Each structure stands twice: as structure tokens, then as C-alpha cells.
A and B are shown apart, each in its own frame.
Chain A
Amino acid sequence: GAVVSQHPSRVICKSGTSVKIECRSLDFQATTMFWYRQFPKKSLMLMATSNEGSKATYEQGVEKDKFLINHASLTLSTLTVTSAHPEDSSFYICSAAGGYNEQFFGPGTRLTVL
């Protein structure tokens, strides 16, 4: 099956700093990538959808200036959490789609903001 990597798997940062999370499709070209946030024991909450070479489409309530998404190539999308605060602490998951009838998920990134 298709493989999606996500880096880093865990990150701890100080309040006010920015953190970048990378999502890569390793063996297929991802025309569309999704970024999710997941709170403990809850379902996945879609934050934004990005298409290669286009601006991301953010879901209602997601601050586009805080969560910067770049999908510069067919194998890489990045999520940058700018000026992170403790309330941004969460589990972030990316997924990629392209040529298959399903999304393939990265292993997730646990962000802790102190």
C-alpha cells in the first residue's frame, strides 16, 4: 500500500515559537493532502485541504494565519503552526490522496507547547 511519512513524530516547543510539520507521500504522487487535528478520544477534525500548487482551503474556524499550509510538490506538504500557544497542543495527522479511492495517513505528530 501507499506510504505517507510525517516528521517529526513528537515536538515540544516554547510558547511563541513556530513549528513546522512535514508530510510526505513516499511512493505515489499526492494531488491532494489533508491536515487533521485530533483531540484525545475524539474523531479527526479536518483543518484544511491542499492541492499541489494551490492555496489551501481551510475549514471554518481554522485560522489560516496561524496554521500555514504549503503544498509545494506532489510529494510534500507542510503545516507550520505560527506563534504556538499551549492551546495549540494536540495530535496532528496528515493524509494524502491521488490516483486511489482512499486517503493514506501519516503516523501523526504530537505537538506540545509549553
Chain B
Amino acid sequence: AQTVTQSQPEMSVQEAETVTLSCTYDTSESDYYLFWYKQPPSRQMILVIRQEAYKQQNATENRFSVNFQKAAKSFSLKISDSQLGDAAMYFCAYRSAFGNYQLIWGAGTKLIIKP
């Protein structure tokens, strides 16, 4: 069975600085997707970034980028130029390329932005 581990329950960063959130996963599959979701205080889940395992290039979305290390089964999220609106819970999730879209979730990391 696949598992997702986020070892940082909480992280804090000064506004405008860069922070990296860690995520590792375990799977025997070779084809899958990895996601970072943001859950602000409103509790609406928002997709931040997605990575297809078959792609070697790391995904980027504006200030958000990932460091995808397939062999190490690591998928970290880097947030550059942190803004107050980035304060939220961040969840890493895994989805097999096969099956019914089911996500395996990490425990989450609470990101605090210091003004």
C-alpha cells in the first residue's frame, strides 16, 4: 500500500522569504501523480501544483515549485517570496495512474507567515 509522509507538522517563514515543505512517499508503482494542496482557514482545498511521475522536469506554478526526486521518493514544495496569503495547511497527496482517482494524503504541514 502507498503511504505519504510529511514530517514537518509546522513551519514558519518570514514574509518575502523562501520556505520548503517536505514530503516523502512510498510506492511500488512506476506511474503516478503527486499533488500539493493548500487548505486556508476557509477550509476550501486548493490545488497548488501537480507532478506526473513520468516527467523528469519539476513542475512550477508562479512562486511555487517542486523538487521531485523519483528514486528517493521525495516531493518537496518550495514557496518563493512568501506572502501572508500563503498561510495555510499544506497537504501532499499521491494518486496512482490507474484506478479511480483516489488520493493518499500526508498528515499536513501548517505554514505560518511572519510579517
Contact = CB atoms under 8 A, between A and B. Distances in A.
Given A93-B45, A101-B52, A107-B42, 10 more contacts: A41-B89, A42-B108, A44-B45, A49-B100, A51-B100, A91-B43, A95-B45, A97-B100, A97-B101, A103-B103
Contacts of B102: 34, 46, 49
Contact of A108 (B43, B101, B106, B108): B43
A67 interface: no
B64 interface: no
B91 A105 contact: no
A106 B50 CA distance: 19
Interface residues of B, number: 21
Top 3 nearest A-B pairs by Cβ distance? A105-B45, A97-B101, A43-B105
Given A43-B91, A93-B45, A103 B101 contact: yes
Contact of B44 (A44, A97, A107): A107
B100 A32 contact: yes
Contacts of A51: 100
Contacts of B89: 41
Interface extent on A, as a size class?
20 to 34
A65 interface: no
Contacts of A102: 33, 35, 47, 50, 95, 101
Nearest to B91: A43
A113 to B, nearest CB: 19
Interface in B35-59: 35, 42-45, 47, 50, 52
Nearest to B47: A102
Among A43, A91, A105, the most chain B Cβ lie within 10 Å of the Cβ of A43
Contacts of B106: 43
